[in-house]
Structure 1
Amino acid sequence: MEIEERLRALLLQGLAGEARDYERFLAVLSTHLRAFLRRRLGQWPDEVEDLVQETLLALHNQRHTYRADMPVTAWAHAIARYKLVDWFRAHAVRGARNVPLDDVNELFSTQDQDAAQARRDLGLLLDTLPDKQRLPIQHVKLEGLSVVETARLTGLSESAVKVGVHRGLKALAARIRGLT
Structure 2
Amino acid sequence: MEDRPRILVVEPNKTALSVLARRLSDAGFRVATADSGSGAIAELHRVPVDLLLAEISMPRMSGAELARLIRSHVQLADLPIMLITGRSAPKSAVLAYEAGADDVILKPFHFEVLVARIERRIARMRAVEQLAQDKAALDARVVERAIQIGELKEQLAEAQARARA
Length-normalised TM-score, structure 1: 0.25
Greater helix proportion:
1
Length-normalised TM-score, structure 2: 0.27
Greater strand proportion:
2
Q: Highest Rg: 1 or 2?
A: 2
